[in-house]
Copies of this chain bind each other. A is one copy, B any other.
Amino acid sequence: MNIRIFFALIIMSSALNSEENFGIVVHGGAGVMSGLSEESQQEIHKKIQETVSQAYSILEEGGSSIDAVELAVSILEDSPLFNAGRGSVYTSDEIQEMDASIMEGDNRLAGAVASVTTIKNPIKLARKVAEETKHILLVGDGAERFAREIGVEIVDREYFYHKERLERVLNSKNKISKLNNESDKIGTVGAVALDRNGNIAAATSTGGMTNKMPGRVGDSPIIGSGTWAQNGVCGVSSTGHGEYFIKYQVAREVCARIEYLNQTLENSAASIINELKELDASGGLIAIDHEGNIASPFNTKGMIRGSQTNKTNLKSDIY
C-alpha cells in the first residue's frame, strides 16, 4: 500500500473512531445501602435511568459533554433521593451546606462552589463560575452573592427540608460515640461524559457529611480530588470519604496512571479504589476514557450508578 494512503487511512480511522464513541456514566453515591426497601430501590433505578437517558440524548444528538454532565447532575440535585441539592444532609448546625464542581477536558475549563446554602442547583452555579469569572472556586457568601448577581436560581431553606435527615443529624448528635451513620457519610452525585467531538467532562455535587462541622469542605468541589476531566485521557467523578480522596488526589490520579504508566482505565480506577480500601477509606468513582471505555469501581457494599454509551446499553445498579 502507498505509504500516504496508509497514513490517510490511519488518520481517517482515528477520526471516525473519536466521532463514533460517546457515552455517559452517573453515580448517586456509595455506601452501605442497607435498609433500602424494594420500593426505594425501584425509585432509585427509575431516577438513575431517566437521568442517564436524558444526558445520553444530548450526546447522541451531537451535544457537548459539559451540557450532558450538568444536566445529569442537576436532575439528581433536584431529586430528594440523593445527598446533593434538594436531598442534602445536615451539618451539626442543622442546616445544609452544599459543594459542587465541574470541569471540561478541552482547555481544562473548571468551576466550583463550596458551602452554599440557598442555591437550588450548585452544579449550575459551578459552571457559571467556570464560564463567567476568572476564578475557579467561590465559597460561602461570596458564591451566594455571585449567584444573585447573575440570576442563578435561589430557593428558601425550606426547599431543602427533609424530616428524616434532620432527625438523623439530631440522633447522631446524641450519640457522640458514633458520630456519623456510615450510609450517609459518603453520599454524593456525579457524572462523566465523552461527546462525539472527543471532549470529556466531569461534574460532582454533594451535601457533604451528616453532622459535619460548619465550613467543612470535602473533595467534591476540589478539582483533582472529586472531579477531573482531561481530553485524550479520562474524566472522573468520585464519591466517598472526602478527606482521603483529597490526600490521594483520586480523580486526577486515575488519569495520571493512564497518562504516565500506560494503565487501562479499568486497571487504574480499580487499583486506586483498592488502595483506598487498605487505608479504610470508603468510596468509589465513575470514569470514562477518550475511547468511551467506562469504569465504576467501589469498595463499599453498594454504589448507585448508571451508564449508557454507543457501545453499551442503558443500565443501572445499586450493589
When the two chains form their complex, are residues B224 and A135 in contact, meaning their CB atoms are under 8 A apart? no
Asked if A215 meets B249 with Cβ closer than 8 Å, knowing A136-B243, A225-B224, A256-B260, the reply is: no
Q: How does the 8 Å CB contact mask read for A135-160 relative to B, with 1 for contact and 0 for none?
A: 11111111101100000000000000
**A140, B214: Cα distance in complex, Å:** 9
**A56, B35: Cα distance in complex, Å:** 56
A254 in the interface, Cβ–Cβ < 8 Å? no
Q: What residues of chain B lie closer than 8 Å to A137, measured between beta carbons?
A: 216-218, 222, 246
When the two chains form their complex, are residues A214 and B249 in contact, meaning their CB atoms are under 8 A apart? no
A212 in the interface, Cβ–Cβ < 8 Å? yes
A115 in the interface, Cβ–Cβ < 8 Å? yes
**A138, B217: Cα distance in complex, Å:** 6
Q: What residues of chain B lie closer than 8 Å to A246, measured between beta carbons?
A: 110, 136-137, 223-224
Interface size classification for chain A: 35 or more
When the two chains form their complex, are residues A140 and B138 in contact, meaning their CB atoms are under 8 A apart? no
Q: What residues of chain B lie closer than 8 Å to A212, measured between beta carbons?
A: 135
When the two chains form their complex, are residues A139 and B115 in contact, meaning their CB atoms are under 8 A apart? yes
Q: What residues of chain B lie closer than 8 Å to A176, measured between beta carbons?
A: none
Q: What residues of chain B lie closer than 8 Å to A256, measured between beta carbons?
A: 256, 260
A257 in the interface, Cβ–Cβ < 8 Å? yes
Q: What residues of chain B lie closer than 8 Å to A214, measured between beta carbons?
A: 141-142, 145
- Give which listed residue, B141, B217, B252, contacts A249 with CB less than 8 A: B252
Asked if A243 meets B139 with Cβ closer than 8 Å, knowing A108-B248, A248-B108, the reply is: no
Asked if A247 meets B108 with Cβ closer than 8 Å, knowing A140-B140, A143-B215, A260-B261, the reply is: yes
A213 in the interface, Cβ–Cβ < 8 Å? yes
A133 in the interface, Cβ–Cβ < 8 Å? yes
CB distance from A113 to the nearest CB of B (A): 9
Q: How does the 8 Å CB contact mask read for A212-248 relative to B, with 1 for contact and 0 for none?
A: 1111111000111100000000000000001100111
CB distance from A272 to the nearest CB of B (A): 13
A102 in the interface, Cβ–Cβ < 8 Å? no
When the two chains form their complex, are residues B213 and A133 in contact, meaning their CB atoms are under 8 A apart? yes
When the two chains form their complex, are residues A247 and B223 in contact, meaning their CB atoms are under 8 A apart? yes
When the two chains form their complex, are residues A115 and B140 in contact, meaning their CB atoms are under 8 A apart? yes
**10 A-B pairs with the lowest CB-CB distances in the bound complex, closest first:** A142-B215, A142-B214, A260-B260, A140-B140, A108-B247, A137-B217, A138-B215, A135-B216, A224-B249, A139-B139
